[in-house]
Amino acid sequence: MDFNIYYDIKNNGKNEYIRTNYNLVQNYIEEAQKYYNLKYNTKTKETSIIYPFRVGEFVLYLLSNNPSFDSKTNIQIDFIKQYLEECTINNKYFTINIFLSFIRDVLQIPELVCSIQYYSSNYYSDIDISSGLNKKNIKTRLFAFERNVNKISIDKTYICNSIIMFILVSLFEILNNGYKINKCINCGNLFINNGIDTNTQYCNYISPQNKNKSCFKYRKTASFQEIRKNNEIYNIHNSIYNLLNKRRKRAEEKSNEDISYMNDKLVKECQEALDNFRDWYFEKTKEYKNRNLTKEQFINLLEEQYIKYRREKNNGSTRNNKE
């Protein structure tokens, strides 16, 4: 298919503008703007429409919402998603060197080649050089630039002839501007941090629990009970804790009724099991918060713990103490 995607990077890598004559991509862009609840006004330039986003937003929408392209592109997109999933667990993989090696050795793309256009900065010093250039004017102009370097922004446009090249240059710009990709622990979608708090765990996109709030606002304003109700990790934890705590309480009741060595030992075993689970959960929670453990891995480990403790009961490890 003969098409181009024009990917404009502005404001020192904070914003992106997308232009294309590829109808499928245009449809996905419009869906992404609704998904992100964007209120930007699109602009028309010649025969194409300019769609504005924050840098990387549209590509992360594509990767999170599984759009369908041709089979080769879909396979490459799947590899990119797997790579970014690993990067959310360990940010040491999200570097330009590793990213370019991934493009070459995994995607089998020898070079990241796109047509790139750089264009003017938005800063102009107020020095009059209409009388002609000379060494003094150049030195004065450079001094003014150096003093106002924070006002200077270099904009550029990548011209991509495939959706994969578009995805890769967008990810390259995320890296090039020092951003990190995180995974929201509420909705599970990828998002880019704000450049300040690299440990942010909640995105600013629509929450699945409340369509009028972002995940961040939902987490901030929802009641404790509401959050817990929708927290699968906590719910499994709660089931295990209640199982072990109930087992311990019933052992204590038995011990109070019939003071004996056997029942006293049973109480200690039940208390030890509860303490061990608390310690285990505390350590795994730390791993999860530090992104050394994904939500899916954490849930799987909790389910294994639940099965283990249920099996202990069925095997009579609690001396056939009925719950």
Q: What is the pLDDT of residues 147-187, one digit of tens each?
A: 888 778 788 889 888 889 999 999 999 988 888 888 887 88
Q: Percent of the chain having pLDDT more than 90? A: 11
Q: Among candidates 123, 129, 121, which has minimal Cα distance to 147?
A: 123
Same domain? 61 vs 151: yes
Tell me if 120 is assigned to some domain.
yes
Helix ranges (H only) for 90-202 are: 96-105, 135-147, 163-176
Which SS3 state, helix, strand or coil, does residue 16 take? strand
pLDDT classification of 319: cutoffs 50, 70, 90: very low
Task: Please tell me whether residues 161 and 273 are part of one structural domain.
Answer: no
Long-range CB contacts for residues 163-166, cutoff 8 Å, separation at least 24: 163/5, 163/22, 163/25, 163/62, 163/69, 163/73, 164/73, 164/76, 164/77, 164/107, 164/109, 165/5, 165/112, 165/114, 166/5, 166/7, 166/25, 166/59
What's CA 276's distance to the chain center, in Å? 32
Kindly state the tokens that stand for 276. 């061990």
Note whether 20 and 165 are same-domain residues. yes
Residue 150 per-residue DSSP state:
G
**Average pLDDT of the residues of the chain:** 79
pLDDT value at residue 204: 77
In a domain, 209, yes or no: no
Instruction: For residues 132 and 26, state if they share a domain.
Output: yes
> Could you tell me if 21 and 111 lie in one domain?
yes
Please report which confidence band the pLDDT of residue 129 belongs to, taking 50, 70 and 90 as the band edges.
Answer: low
| CA distances, 14 to each of 149, 155, 195 (Å) | 17, 11, 10
What is the mean predicted confidence (pLDDT) over 100-104?
A: 93
Residue 105: inside a domain, yes or no? yes
Q: Answer for the pair 320, 251: CB distance below 8 angstroms, yes or no.
A: no
Domain with 18, as residue range(s), is 5-179
CA–chain centroid gap for 60, Å, is: 9
Q: Do 236 and 171 fall into the same domain?
A: no
> Which of 162, 179, 196 represents a domain boundary (last residue)?
179
Q: Tens digit of pLDDT for each residue in 134-157?
A: 556 777 878 888 888 877 878 888
Please, are residues 251 and 321 in contact by the beta-carbon 8 Å criterion? yes
Tell me, yes or no, whether 241 and 171 share the same domain. Answer: no
> Are β-strands 5-10 and 15-20 bridged in parallel, bridged antiparallel, or unpaired?
antiparallel
pLDDT band at 318 (very low <50, low <70, confident <90, very high): very low
- pLDDT value at position 233? 86
Which pLDDT score, from 0 to 100, does residue 249 have? Answer: 85
Domain's final residue, options 179, 201, 223: 179
Rounded distance between C-alpha atoms, residue 222 and residue 228, angstroms: 10
pLDDT of residue 90: 80
Is residue 196 assigned to a domain? no
Q: What is the pLDDT of residues 205-260, one digit of tens each?
A: 778 887 778 788 877 776 555 556 667 888 888 899 888 888 888 888 776 666 55
Residue 49 lies in a domain: yes
Q: Give the separation between CA 75 and CA 223, rounded to whole angstroms.
A: 41
Q: Give the separation between CA 123 and CA 145, rounded to whole angstroms.
A: 8
In this structure, the answer to whether residues 172 and 57 fall within a common structural domain is yes
Range with lowest mean pLDDT among 52-66, 101-115, 275-289: 52-66
Question: Are residues 171 and 88 located together in one domain of the fold?
Answer: yes
- List strand residue ranges (DSSP E) for 122-236, in order: 155-160, 181-183, 190-192
Question: Does 60 lie in the same domain as 154?
Answer: yes
> Tokens in use for 208?
């699945």
Residue 189 above 70 pLDDT? yes
Pair (287, 172) in one structural domain: no
Query: What backbone phi and psi angles, to 5 degrees, belong to 90?
Result: -140, 105
* Per-residue pLDDT, 322: 41
Residue at which a domain ends, from 139, 164, 179 = 179
Q: 110: number of CA atoms within 13 Å, CB side? A: 0
- Residue 156 resides in a domain: yes
Query: Taking CA 191 as the corner, what is the angle to CA 186 and CA 196, rounded to the nearest 5 degrees?
Result: 105
Could you give the CA distance from residue 218 to residue 209 in angstroms, rounded to a whole number?
Answer: 8
Please report whether residue 187 resides in a domain.
no
For the record, the structure tokens of 236 come out as 């499994």
Q: Are residue 164 and residue 301 in the same domain, yes or no? A: no
Number of domains in the chain: 2
Residue 284 lies in a domain: yes
